[in-house]
Amino acid sequence: MNFLKNKTILITGGTGSFGHEAVKFLISNCKLKKIIIFSRDENKQYEMQKKFKDKNLRFFLGDIRDEERLLHAFKGVDFVIHAAAQKHVPAAEYNPFECIKTNVNGAQSIISACLKTNVKKVIALSTDKACNPINLYGATKLCAEKLFINANQLSGKEGTKFSVVRYGNVLASRGSVIPFFKELVKNKAKFLPLTHHDMTRFFITLSDSVQFVLNNLKNTSGAEIVIPKMNSIFIKDLIKAINSKIKIKIVGVRPGEKINEVLYSKDESNQVYETNDSFRIYPNYKTGFKKIGKKVNKHFEYVSNSIKYLNKQAVIKLIKKSKLL
């Protein structure tokens, strides 16, 4: 990735799963000037600093809701990957304004700081839950998407470029269901809980998600939401791939949970373009930025129960790739 040579990249929420995987790749494969981790947990930063002993890795304590702190952190930064979020769905339902302050107000603070410090390009990480949201977390991420896409109208063609990557569940990330299931199996649970018999999910490996984001850090032109083409899995098949002998107990859908995931909806299809590895959603207003790909059929939606599912052996292979089996 020569475009990153002698550049400075900052990752918000960089002590999380994505940040760890991204830093591992960047240190090994890119001759960066600096990698800056911006987060508010000093202990996680300390542990990460011990893990990655690299002279070009820097740590910056701060909160994305604090624009003044962001302005200090963003000085001299070329690229920002915004991975910080309050993302636990039930926690957001019970603590709604805290979620809004981080996911919405924090997004606006990042936009403002990037514009003021002349950051070249920003990729904000989003979620399938931003599409037709039925929970507060999804609603805040939809709002954040709108803020980042519209920010291109503030920066213009020569200013900071803002884009969004929207994807589904990441295998091996913090909060992923697989470590949860494995812990239950380890503790000799009598059953594994499943919220609904027909529950399906899109899945992507952590390493693939990092590659996809970094590729689009280079390839996006601004004002687009980029969605990777992903695998779909029945959660019951995922459980059987982890342990084929254990019983499954249906426990009911959790607050704010969908049975199937949607990565782009029928309502968005009129603005969607397809490439070999992605779908790209452009605003329904003129931006002046180039559109990439071929326009998809109207009224098609990208839903986890409408594409080919991975069979059990393919699920096992995917889990092994993530080093979870």
Instruction: Clarify whether 317 is annotated catalytic.
Output: no
> CA 202, 208, 214, 216: dihedral to nearest 10 degrees?
-40
Length of the chain: 325
- 258: which 2 tokens? 């969908």
Residue 182's beta-bridge partner residues? none
Q: Are 47 and 81 in contact (CB under 8 A)?
A: no
Measured distance CA(34)–CA(75) in Å, rounded? 12
Measured distance CA(61)–CA(42) in Å, rounded? 7
Catalytic residue among 87, 121, 129, 141: 129
- List of E strands, the chain: 8-12, 34-39, 57-61, 79-82, 121-127, 161-167, 169-171, 191-194, 200-205, 225-228, 231-234, 247-250, 262-264, 272-274, 278-281, 294-295, 302-303
Residues designated catalytic: 129
